[in-house]
């Protein structure tokens, strides 16, 4: 064997492995697009059940993401900028839903907010019904997706040089103005990247939702649940929703890459 | 500018939040999976949640805001009634079991006895869901319980999934109701089961009792279902009908 052939052999192996991986990961997605005539997709998505599922998904993800940004941003800011005993343990608790199987998350939510659960009876007495309502979908999405955002937000705030904050404070800006005018804009691209991940996880939520929120058409049936519901009675509609979700996910992924790319550029420019 | 934008965002969030409770006002019907096409054909206005009757029972026990429960056996409605979670159950339909195979019938099954050869991909209701319980009763009567151990059995939580697996050729055979075989249309073929082995399949439902339930709407729906409009639709979808809309 010549020197060149000996060097080429591992490369051939590597290329083969890459080809296998690419084929395995890309083929199902390509097959999805081949299965249904693309021209019929708009008509299929216009069906009542699909329209309702689309609307439920859009609304619950919007509310969950709104609440997530509202609560998790300050929480992450505090965790990133202060050092206190138990901080590491606290962050671990917040990250736990990341590694929890979604079905377990659903059962956990049910034992917290369902009838006979930890808070379920008290809520019921107060006239608040959470399980198997649209709020349950929101809670399930929040539970499984906000850790993605919290993690990214902590990282984004941690990498900021405190010098900017101190400069703003020394120039007379209050804490709120400092956050709004200095910290938030500087962390914005990191926060966006975290939000994109959380959003993608949110629209794909299935396991926790079906256990904690059920599959009530027009109320708790999101797109992923509608796919599961329609797979046998209307396979084409299920495929069309699949295509819709693939396109959404692809757009989200490209947006994420763009944000990540832009994030690395201005830092270099600043130096 | 920034302040105005954050105000707009806050308003949008508040608007979206306000829109949710408003959406929860329609009558909510929890129905057995086998009713998934018949009930919307009877009345398209309520919110429907279709699933295994035992799953729906659990959801109602866990505080699900259902107004009407329509199960595929007497077990679930009776349990809810005994727990004080619904009114006295009413029989509204009957059904018959059947064995379905994919239209191409890859395993060449022509009678239920053919399942004895083993190694087939069999889709069966899980224990606890009505179709699973009925299937086990029937196999017991046929002395064919062993087919559940010698074949590759895939347990499903609701009958719609079994029909789906067979019609998508992901199973060689599956036990469903004749109404599911009818819905699956030409994608499946039926293999008749001996009449003497058929368990009585009685569908019972009840009006859910909980704070804020739309009991009037649920009672009206149940009356419609057991009355002429309901009987016409159920018959069209292949269900059997109880002698009269009689109370249990």
Instruction: Give the residue on A whose Cα is nearest the Cα of B49.
Output: A216
Total number of residues shown for chain A = 271
Task: With CA atoms as reference, report the closest residue to A64 among A193, A159, A195, A223.
Answer: A195
Asked if B36's CB is within 8 angstroms of A233's CB, the reply is yes
Contact B59 A217 (CB under 8 A): no
Task: Please tell me if residue B35 touches chain A, with a CB cutoff of 8 Å.
Answer: no
- B150 and B118 Cβ atoms separated by less than 8 Å: yes
pLDDT top residue among B107 and A127: B107
Whether A232 shows a pLDDT value over 90: the answer reads: no
Overall pTM surpassing 0.90 (yes/no): no
Question: What's the confidence (pLDDT) of residue A124?
Answer: 80
Tokens for A131, please give them. 């399980």
Cite the DSSP H helix spans in chain B: 2-23, 38-42, 53-61, 74-82, 130-141, 147-150, 159-167, 178-184, 215-226, 228-236
Overall average pLDDT of the A127-152 stretch: 94
- The pLDDT of A143-157, averaged and rounded, is 95
- Check whether A267 has a pLDDT greater than 60: no
- pLDDT (average), residues B141-158: 94
Q: What integer pLDDT is reported at residue A252 of this predicted model?
A: 87
pLDDT digits (tens, 9 = 90+) for B12-62: 555 555 554 444 468 999 999 999 999 999 999 999 999 999 999 999 999
Q: Cα–Cα distance between A53 and B141 in angstroms, integer? A: 43
Per-residue confidence (pLDDT) for residue B97, from 0 to 100? 97
CA-CA distance, B241 to B165, in Å (whole number)?
Answer: 28
Computed from CA positions of residues A233, A234, A239, A240, in that sequence, does the dihedral angle turn out positive or negative? negative
Give the separation between CA A145 and CA A104, rounded to whole angstroms: 14
Size of interface A-B (CB pairs under 8 A): 95
Residues of A in contact with B212 (CB under 8 A): 127, 129
Q: How far apart are CA A183 and CA A162, in angstroms?
A: 9
Mean pLDDT over the full length of chain B? 89
Question: B101 near B107, Cβ under 8 Å?
Answer: yes
Contacts with A100 (C-beta within 8 Å, 6 or more apart), sequence order: A108
Once rounded to an integer, what is the mean pLDDT over residues A209-234?
89
* Alpha carbons B248 and A80: distance in angstroms, whole number: 64
Across the interface, do A132 and B13 touch by the CB < 8 Å criterion? no
- Residue A271: what pLDDT? 45
As given in the structure block, the two tokens for residue A256 are 């994420």
Q: B11: which chain A residues are within 8 Å (Cβ-Cβ)?
A: none
Cβ atoms of A80 and A153 closer than 8 Å: yes
**B49 and A133 in contact by Cβ < 8 A?**
no
């Amino acid at each position: 064997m010549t020197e060149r052939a000996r060097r080429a052999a591992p490369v051939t192996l590597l290329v083969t492995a890459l080809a296998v991986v690419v084929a395995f990961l890309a083929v199902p997605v390509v097959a999805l697009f081949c299965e249904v005539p693309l021209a019929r997709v708009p008509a299929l998505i216009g069906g009542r059940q699909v329209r309702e599922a689309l609307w439920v998904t859009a609304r619950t993800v919007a509310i969950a993401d709104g609440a997530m940004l509202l609560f998790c941003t300050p929480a992450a800011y505090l965790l990133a900028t202060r050092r206190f005993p138990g901080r590491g343990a606290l962050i671990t608790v917040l990250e736990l839903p990341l590694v929890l199987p979604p079905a377990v998350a659903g059962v956990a939510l049910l034992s917290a907010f369902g009838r006979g659960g930890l808070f379920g009876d008290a809520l019921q007495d107060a006239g608040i019904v959470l399980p198997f309502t649209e709020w349950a979908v929101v809670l399930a999405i929040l539970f499984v997706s906000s850790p993605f955002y919290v993690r990214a937000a902590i990282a984004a705030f941690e990498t900021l040089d405190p010098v900017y904050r101190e400069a703003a404070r020394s120039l007379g800006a209050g804490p709120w103005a400092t956050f709004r005018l200095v910290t938030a804009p500087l962390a914005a691209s990191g926060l966006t990247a975290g939000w994109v991940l959380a959003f993608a996880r949110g629209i794909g939520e299935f396991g926790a939702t079906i256990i904690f929120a059920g599959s009530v058409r027009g109320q708790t049936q999101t797109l992923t649940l509608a796919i599961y519901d329609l797979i046998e009675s209307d396979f084409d509609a299920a495929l069309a929703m699949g295509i819709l979700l693939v396109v959404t996910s692809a757009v989200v992924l490209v947006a994420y890459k763009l944000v990540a790319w832009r994030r690395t550029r201005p830092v270099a420019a600043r130096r | 500018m920034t302040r105005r934008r954050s105000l707009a965002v806050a308003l949008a969030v508040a608007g979206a939040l306000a829109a949710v409770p408003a959406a929860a006002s329609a009558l909510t019907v929890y129905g057995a999976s086998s009713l998934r096409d018949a009930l919307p054909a009877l009345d398209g206005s309520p919110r429907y949640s279709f699933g295994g009757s035992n799953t729906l029972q659990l959801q109602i026990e866990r505080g699900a805001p259902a107004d009407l429960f329509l199960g595929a056996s007497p077990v679930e409605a009776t349990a809810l009634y005994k727990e004080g979670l619904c009114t006295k159950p009413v029989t509204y339909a009957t059904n018959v079991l059947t064995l379905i195979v994919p239209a191409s019938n890859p395993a060449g099954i022509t009678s239920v006895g053919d399942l004895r050869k083993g190694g087939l991909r069999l889709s069966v209701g899980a224990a606890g869901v009505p179709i699973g319980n009925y299937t086990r009763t029937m196999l017991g009567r046929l002395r064919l319980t062993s087919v559940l151990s010698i074949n590759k059995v895939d347990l499903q939580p609701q009958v719609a999934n079994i029909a789906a697996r067979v019609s998508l050729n992901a199973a060689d055979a599956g036990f469903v109701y004749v109404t599911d075989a009818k819905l699956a249309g030409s994608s499946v073929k039926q293999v008749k089961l001996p009449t003497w082995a058929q368990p009585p399949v009685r569908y019972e439902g009840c009006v859910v009792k909980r704070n804020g339930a739309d009991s009037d709407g649920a009672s009206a729906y149940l009356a419609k279902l057991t009355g002429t409009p309901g009987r016409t639709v159920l018959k069209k979808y292949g269900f059997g009908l109880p002698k009269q809309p009689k109370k249990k």
